[in-house]
Amino acid sequence: MQAKQRMLTGITTSGTPHLGNYLGALKPAVAASQQVDTDSFYFLADYHALIKCQDPQTVHRSGREIAAIWLALGLDTDKATFYRQSDIPEIPQLAWFLTCVTAKGMMNRAHAYKASVDENQRQSSVDLDQGISMGLYSYPILMAADILMFNAHQIPVGKDQIQHIEMCRDIAMRFNHTYGEHFVLPEALVDEGDAKVLSGLDGRKMSKSYGNIIPLFAPADELKKLIFQITTNSLQPGEVKDPDTCTLFEIYSAFASHEETLAIRKAYANGIGWGDMKGQLFEYLNDYLTPARKRYDEIITDPAYIESELQKGAAKARAHSEPFMQRLRSAVGIMSLVGDLGAKQSGAKAKKELTKEEQAKVDAGKAKGIAIAKQRAEQESQQLAFEVDDLINTINTSSDPKAAGEEILAGLRTQIDGAKKKAKKTLQQTLELLEQRLTS
């Protein structure tokens, strides 16, 4: 029987989920939790919320609302593991372990950080890091800890989040290379079908940052008011309208069936008025959302029930995270000194009394250790070749390859002069291989 694939996703508790969140994350996640071959982990990302939101009331209220929404949409917490990120203390511990093996250069290339730097540059700021916290800078590491703590195989993400999964894989490989195989390498699970990204009230992407959202479970009167605020053009009733450039049609078709969508498309060709279309969109969404909204209204008034569900999920999650963290702590050398001493003493005693069978196991262990050391040496050699390939590519694509090559060689020699023993050896190998490649 094929092992279950573990899928993990979280929602940041910094606001109220909207229609776009429902289509892009909530709806497919709840559906996936019902699959018998999937082990689903869903969490409230309240640590991540602190990066952009320093309002305690907002973070607290958002966590309660998002948890209630998950439950109202039918998430089966007996099948899925549903928890609050901050209830798993091993996650920030792991984040620090990962921070210590993560290259700063990779973090400098993270999209969110680069976008903030670019904005400061556009604003002609003297300090390009102005307003950028270490939370924003190291966000991908915390995300990696969320994923690697539970060795998730698949991470549902939008295309704009693929880089974070690639960074997570890189961090996991670095840790595995240093401390042994502990983490599986996650895969980004991207919906290659029609993009589930909705436009908001003003035509831009629906986002809390733009203040143009339609909350998922807004009361009927508020839902109607917001829909009638959606921007349209000046075409009059009776004039042919283009559905493919219309936010109203975009939202309607994202929820409606194929047949219902075709009928509305025909209405656009027949010149449906904007007021009529907004009314039809409201009626359709209100009917679609009413059953789940009713469950939400009941759940949100019972915080004790919500908390009990989260604590149930935390217990399930920690049944995995606690022993796994003990294993990781031992791997990096953080363990009881007394226990370590006892292990050494018992090991010394056993050595004097080894039978032939026990000695054979010891020899096998040594052979395995040699094989692992050989494998690591091969991986280091491969990594060295990759780095030199990158340098060669940089040289060959420059306007003056010869000058670029001499500059890079000179830079490596300067680094070697100031490097410590282990780094010096690696740099020396890089220099020698690059010189060979350039002269071959």
- Per-residue pLDDT of 246-273, as tens digits, reads 999 999 999 999 999 999 999 999 999 9
Q: Alpha-carbon dihedral of residues 149, 155, 157, 161, nearest 10 degrees?
A: 50
* pLDDT (tens digit per residue) in 57-93: 999 999 999 999 999 999 999 999 999 999 999 999 9
* pLDDT (tens digit per residue) in 17-34: 899 888 877 888 888 888
Tokens for 375, please give them: 């494998």
Q: Does residue 2 have a pLDDT over 70?
A: no
pLDDT at 145: 98
pLDDT at 56: 94
pLDDT at 192: 56
pLDDT at 339: 57
Report the percent of the chain where pLDDT is more than 90. Answer: 61
SS3 204: coil
- Alpha-carbon gap, residue 121 to 123, rounded angstroms: 5
pLDDT at 405: 83
pLDDT at 173: 96
CB contact at 8 A, 47 and 85: yes
For the chain, the first-to-last Cα distance in angstroms comes to 52
Q: Does residue 208 have a pLDDT over 90?
A: no
Q: Does residue 174 have a pLDDT over 90?
A: yes
Q: Angle at CA 244, nearest 5°, toward 241 and 249?
A: 80
SS3 8: strand
Between 27 and 281, where is the model more confident? 281
SS3 16: coil
Please state whether beta strands 5-12 and 38-45 pair in parallel, antiparallel, or not at all (unpaired).
Answer: parallel
**C-alpha closest to that of 116 among 134, 94, 100, 136:** 136
Please state whether beta strands 81-84 and 154-156 pair in parallel, antiparallel, or not at all (unpaired).
Answer: unpaired
DSSP labels, 98-141 = HHTTS-HHHHHT-HHHHHHHHHHHHTT-SSTTTT--HHHHTHHH
pLDDT at 133: 95
**C-alpha closest to that of 324 among 79, 81, 145:** 145
* pLDDT (tens digit per residue) in 389-413: 878 878 888 788 888 888 888 888 8
SS3 180: coil
pLDDT at 342: 46
Mean pLDDT is lowest, of 124-138, 283-297, 412-426, for 412-426
Is this structure's pTM higher than 0.85?
Answer: no
CB contact at 8 A, 74 and 41: no
- Alpha-carbon gap, residue 267 to 279, rounded angstroms: 13
Half-sphere exposure of 257 (CA within 13 A, CB side): 2
